[in-house]
Amino acid sequence: MQYNQLSKEEISQLTDADWKERLSSDEYHVMREKGTERPFTGVYNDINDKGIYRCKGCGANLFESDNKFDAGCGWPSFDQGIDNSAIDEHVDDSLGMRRTEVTCSHCSAHLGHVFPDGPSETTGMRYCINSVAIDLDKSDE
């Protein structure tokens, strides 16, 4: 699959109707309405192929497969983003709890949440990401 990352200018011109056309209804619900897919249903929960996970909305590089681990939570989990500028974190006080939301820094798509309970030998963080928000660009290894 060929990946073309949208520019900031292209993203700024997208309307809500454009996002609805670009994304499936499940992708739109998660990425634009801050929804969550059901645990253990996402295509990337049990995938261990090598490559780069990209934002389904804009094609930006988000996570490397080397940073993916099985957290047993039902969603793909990573211990860090591909670099410090790939993802943004925001306080999320919805649903009567305080969490940290993770969004794509390029198009602001909701990706999931981050928790401080990841593998201690790495960063100690668990980026719990919705499969419908990402796409794996497999490496040739």
Give the per-residue pLDDT at 141: 58
73 has binding-site annotation = no
Q: Domains in the chain: how many in total? A: 1
104 is in an annotated binding site: yes
Q: For residues 5 and 97, what is the distance between their CA atoms, to the nearest angstrom?
A: 34
Range of 24-28, 116-120, 122-126 with top mean pLDDT: 24-28
CATH of the domain at 79: 2.170.150.20
* Residues designated as active site: 128
End-to-end Cα separation, the chain, in angstroms: 16
Residue 36 forms part of a structural domain: yes
Specify if 110 maps to a domain.
yes
Identify the domain containing residue 89 by its residue range: 8-138
pLDDT value of residue 140? 66
Does residue 1 lie in a domain region? no
Using alpha carbons only, give the angle 35, 41, 47 rounded to the nearest 5 degrees: 115
Residue listed under structure tokens 């897919």: 37
Tens of pLDDT along 36-64? 999 999 999 999 999 999 999 999 999 99
Q: What is the pTM of this model?
A: 0.91
Average pLDDT, the chain: 92
3 domain-assigned:
no
In whole angstroms, what is the distance from residue 63 CA to residue 68 CA? 8
58 labeled part of a ligand binding site: yes
